[in-house]
Chain A
Amino acid sequence: MQRVRRTKRIRIVGAIILLLAVVADFVPIQAQAGFIQAYLRLDRMKINTASGGLVCARASLAGPTEAKVIVTFPSTYTLNTTAANWVMTTTNLPSGATAWPGVVSGTTTASAVDNTLKTATFPSNDLPNNTTLYCFNFAAASTLTTAAAAANSQQASIQTQTSANAVIDLTQIALANATDDTILVTAVVPPSFIFTMSGYADPFASNLDPLAVVNTSGIMVDVVTNAKGGWIAWARSQYAGLYSATAGYTIPTVGTINGAVSNLTAGNEGYVMDVDLTADAASGCTVNIDNEYDGSTATEGGTLSTSYQPLAECTGTSPATANHDQFTLTERAAISGATPASSDYTDNITVVGAGNFLDYEVVRFGSEMGVCQFKCGHDCGQFELAGDGICG
């Protein structure tokens, strides 16, 4: 009888335990929630480096009233415990983010910092909704120093609490540090010479006429170079005149290469090339048209030669660079009444441009060192090399 009762009791207790176990799953409990979104972006990832940071979070619920936000840094970080250094700002926040409630930018500071617990506690007002991302920055000066060694996945967290220290939202985050967080950007500007000609065909504007000096429409040359010594351009003519294969005749160039322009007169055969300065780019070198070709009237120009003759050059104190120096080539011709008629008078002119012959590598140091050796009696120091030549 007693045995029956004990068995019955055991069955009842077992049934109750089973019932409680089933029901327990449906009993609501109060638990810590995570933010819908939360992150900590440090200003520097480099190890052992002072850093500020950006704290952003979006509350999970609109209900509880936040009173503080606590950031827990990895144990490898060092926190300056002077709370007043941890100045909060709300400038330069990410697009779409809103200033953290209760933060007066540049004035509000952390309320407590604990280097043992690795926590920085910041004041907060209630986050009024769970649809907005709230952010604030904390200063870098005398606040946080990153880990001494490079590491990934260092545990940290962001949490909000009520004024009664009840956790509202808590999200674990991971931070990483690297030996360096900067990228050195270097670029090379290679020496270069850009030579542009507006075309390769230069027709005479009208028929040659014994009553006038006729010009070609002109070809413009544009020079861009970072050559420190400027540039130079030469030209040569295939025929030193206007040649007609049909007529078997050449309208010859006039004058001689003597550094002075030649003048054409209507009715007297002649052929010259004029070079006009169209643009001398500001700064850099100064363009000089060779006197031979620097005509100043519509009938003047220089004698054409079958060998290369300098047309123009750009010189000056270094760096004598050029940024779109321009000059225009115009051929002029005059004929007499006896010049054989033909439709194929023409000339081939070749224009060559080059950066002035400089050496970017030779004995630069040796030469400047020499200045100091002889002028100052000792080798140049670094600053003397870069300076104004005055002995140090």
Chain B
Amino acid sequence: MIAGNLSWPATVYAVDAEESAPLVLQTSPLPINLQVDPGKSVTTELKVKQSGTEKARLKVGLMKFTAYGEEGKPELKDREAGDDYFDWVKFDKTEFDAPINVWQTVKMTITVPKSAAFGYYYAVTFSRVGDDVKRTDRTNSIAGATATLVLLEAVNPNAKRELQLDSFGSKHRVYEFLPAEFDIKLKNVGNVHAVPSGDVFILQGNKQLAALPINGGFGNILPDSNRIFPAKWSDGFPHWEPVIADGKTKLDKNGKIVKKLVWDWGKLSSIRIGRYTAHLFAVYDDGKRDIPIETEITFWVIPWRFLLVVLVILALVALGVYGMVREASINWLASAANQGHCAAGGGND
């Protein structure tokens, strides 16, 4: 190694892959919603199970999460200056032995001061002790962890739940075939998290063709952040679908989803051509009543290649018919001319 240090090129060494036991962590429940009156405590149970190949020791960490950016991407962050609400949290244990396949329960108690108000968003992480130590063998450490998100609302009469529609858009203005994909971007301009719900109604003229639920999982939008909810209309003939192989979506060499055009002849009546309207109707509960959010956009479905083939076929048929008629006419004229000629010749005779 020392010789290596002195030689050129300046080689940085690597070693063989070290035995590193896989990490398998299971947590339940998933995001936890808590409501508490200021000045009181609330306790919740977090469950974690490790199913690796050997007994492990797990540790509990506390972080915060929020959402950022135009798309409202979830963001995981360490405690920052002023995050006093981290001090409200106590765990009954912060490090513990975890035998294989045995659920461990960690009690999280949050004692909320009287001055607390609105929303606080914690991420409780579970990770294996020792995975994140600095290695000396020119090998990177990759420590894994799961995070259970805890949404705490300190009940306050001044809580403001207000969502605004930032945008409602279609992926394309014109689709050749379905699915048509829509994004509903909502912004939380209140001071506590809120949950929108509703549908995108697909209409052709006044006829309703589909109702696409949005936020069927009842996801929260955190205060002062955006969140995009997708909706997809696939009920068409034909329509694109991901290719499934061995229970997995098939990917191309660039990791992109491979799609195929599905011709389900049983859905021939669902052929989509023309102008459609996507009507968004969503609501959220502001604590007193349901507040509606409503708008609509239009889009087109034009299966142009399909139509082109049909047109070409029709044109060929028309040409064929025209050719046949023309040939028949010529033959008839020629025949008539011959008959006339013969008749004339006969007369001459």
- A residues with CB within 8 A of B: 190-211, 214, 216-217, 219, 221, 225, 227-229, 232, 234, 238, 242, 245, 251, 276-277, 279-282, 286, 289, 294, 296, 307-308, 310, 313, 315-320, 323-324, 329, 331, 333, 335, 337-364, 366-371, 373-375, 388-390
A354 B147 Cβ-Cβ under 8 A: yes
A198 B26 Cβ-Cβ under 8 A: no
Query: Which residues of B lie under 8 Å from residue A227 when comparing CB positions?
Result: 30-31, 217
A390 B290 Cβ-Cβ under 8 A: no
Pull 25 A–B residue pairs with CB atoms less than 8 Å apart, ordered by A.
A190-B28, A195-B23, A195-B25, A196-B25, A197-B23, A198-B22, A199-B23, A200-B142, A205-B14, A227-B30, A229-B219, A289-B255, A308-B76, A341-B6, A341-B12, A343-B4, A346-B135, A346-B138, A346-B140, A349-B141, A354-B147, A356-B217, A363-B285, A367-B197, A370-B292
Kindly identify, within residues 92 to 132 of chain B, every residue whose CB is under 8 Å from any CB belonging to chain A. 121, 123, 125, 127-128, 131-132
**B323 in contact (CB, < 8 A):** no
Query: Which residues of A lie under 8 Å from residue B132 when comparing CB positions?
Result: 238, 348, 350
Query: Which residues of B lie under 8 Å from residue A221 when comparing CB positions?
Result: 144
Provide the bound-state CA to CA distance between A343 and B12, in Å.
6
Query: Which residues of B lie under 8 Å from residue A364 when comparing CB positions?
Result: 197, 218
**B212 in contact (CB, < 8 A):** yes
Given the interface pairs A201-B17, A202-B140, A343-B1, the reply to whether A355 lies near B30 with Cβ below 8 Å is: yes
**B305 in contact (CB, < 8 A):** no
Query: Which residues of B lie under 8 Å from residue A315 when comparing CB positions?
Result: 230
Q: Shortest distance in angstroms between B218's beta carbon and chain A's nearest beta carbon?
A: 5
**B91 in contact (CB, < 8 A):** no
Provide the bound-state CA to CA distance between A112 and B138, in Å.
91
**B152 in contact (CB, < 8 A):** no
A341 B218 Cβ-Cβ under 8 A: no
What does the 1/0 interface line of B16-41 toward A look like (CB < 8 Å)? 11111111111111110100000000
Query: Which residues of A lie under 8 Å from residue B10 when comparing CB positions?
Result: 210, 335, 337-341
B145 A356 Cβ-Cβ under 8 A: no
Interface pick from B241-249, B269-277, B309-317, B333-341: B241-249
- B residues with CB within 8 A of A: 1, 4-6, 8-31, 33, 51, 65, 73-78, 121, 123, 125, 127-128, 131-149, 151, 195-199, 201, 208, 210-220, 222, 230-232, 242, 244, 247-249, 251, 254-255, 257, 281, 283-285, 289-292
Query: Which residues of A lie under 8 Å from residue B291 when comparing CB positions?
Result: 370
Q: Which 8 A-B pairs have the closest CB atoms?
A: A370-B290, A318-B216, A228-B217, A199-B20, A208-B12, A389-B211, A367-B197, A370-B283
A374 B290 Cβ-Cβ under 8 A: yes
Query: Which residues of A lie under 8 Å from residue B13 when comparing CB positions?
Result: 207-208, 343
A196 B23 Cβ-Cβ under 8 A: yes
Q: Shortest distance in angstroms between B23's beta carbon and chain A's nearest beta carbon?
A: 4
- Residue in A191, A201, A219, A232 whose beta carbon sits within 8 Å of that of B74 in the complex: A232
Given the interface pairs A320-B217, A366-B285, the reply to whether A342 lies near B144 with Cβ below 8 Å is: no
Q: Shortest distance in angstroms between A257's beta carbon and chain B's nearest beta carbon?
A: 11
B147 A337 Cβ-Cβ under 8 A: no
- Residue in A192, A335, A389 whose beta carbon sits within 8 Å of that of B26 in the complex: A192
**Which residue of chain A has the shortest Cβ distance to B216 in the bound complex?**
A318
Q: Shortest distance in angstroms between B62's beta carbon and chain A's nearest beta carbon?
A: 12
B144 A367 Cβ-Cβ under 8 A: no
B139 A225 Cβ-Cβ under 8 A: no
B14 A203 Cβ-Cβ under 8 A: yes
Query: Which residues of A lie under 8 Å from residue B214 when comparing CB positions?
Result: 317
Query: Which residues of B lie under 8 Å from residue A193 when comparing CB positions?
Result: 26-28, 30, 146, 148
**Which residue of chain A has the shortest Cβ distance to B249 in the bound complex?**
A280
Given the interface pairs A205-B14, A343-B13, A359-B195, the reply to whether A195 lies near B213 with Cβ below 8 Å is: no
B77 A200 Cβ-Cβ under 8 A: no
**Which residue of chain B has the shortest Cβ distance to A342 in the bound complex?**
B12
B142 A329 Cβ-Cβ under 8 A: yes
Given the interface pairs A208-B14, A289-B255, A354-B149, the reply to whether A197 lies near B31 with Cβ below 8 Å is: no
Q: Shortest distance in angstroms between B18's beta carbon and chain A's nearest beta carbon?
A: 4
Given the interface pairs A203-B138, A211-B9, A276-B255, the reply to whether A308 lies near B77 with Cβ below 8 Å is: yes
- Residue in B23, B76, B230 whose beta carbon sits within 8 Å of that of A234 in the complex: B76
Q: Shortest distance in angstroms between B160's beta carbon and chain A's nearest beta carbon?
A: 16
Provide the bound-state CA to CA distance between A66 and B128, in Å.
76
Given the interface pairs A341-B4, A366-B285, A374-B290, the reply to whether A317 lies near B142 with Cβ below 8 Å is: no
Q: Shortest distance in angstroms between A345's beta carbon and chain B's nearest beta carbon?
A: 5
B74 A375 Cβ-Cβ under 8 A: no
Provide the bound-state CA to CA distance between A193 and B283, in Å.
29
Q: Shortest distance in angstroms between A190's beta carbon and chain B's nearest beta carbon?
A: 5
Query: Which residues of B lie under 8 Å from residue A229 when comparing CB positions?
Result: 217, 219
Q: Shortest distance in angstroms between A373's beta carbon and chain B's nearest beta carbon?
A: 6
Provide the bound-state CA to CA distance between A320 and B230, in Å.
11
Provide the bound-state CA to CA distance between A198 and B142, in Å.
10
Query: Which residues of B lie under 8 Å from residue A242 when comparing CB positions?
Result: 140
Query: Which residues of B lie under 8 Å from residue A216 when comparing CB positions?
Result: 140
**Which residue of chain B has the shortest Cβ distance to A308 in the bound complex?**
B76
Query: Which residues of B lie under 8 Å from residue A349 when comparing CB positions?
Result: 140-143
Q: Which among A194, A323, A329 has the highest number of chain B CB atoms within 10 Å?
A: A194
Query: Which residues of B lie under 8 Å from residue A286 when comparing CB positions?
Result: 242, 249, 257
Query: Which residues of A lie under 8 Å from residue B196 when comparing CB positions?
Result: 367
Query: Which residues of A lie under 8 Å from residue B77 when comparing CB positions?
Result: 307-308
10 more CB-based (< 8 A) A-B contacts, given A352-B146, A388-B210: A195-B27, A208-B14, A281-B247, A286-B257, A318-B217, A341-B12, A356-B31, A360-B30, A364-B197, A367-B290
A200 B144 Cβ-Cβ under 8 A: yes
A353 B8 Cβ-Cβ under 8 A: no
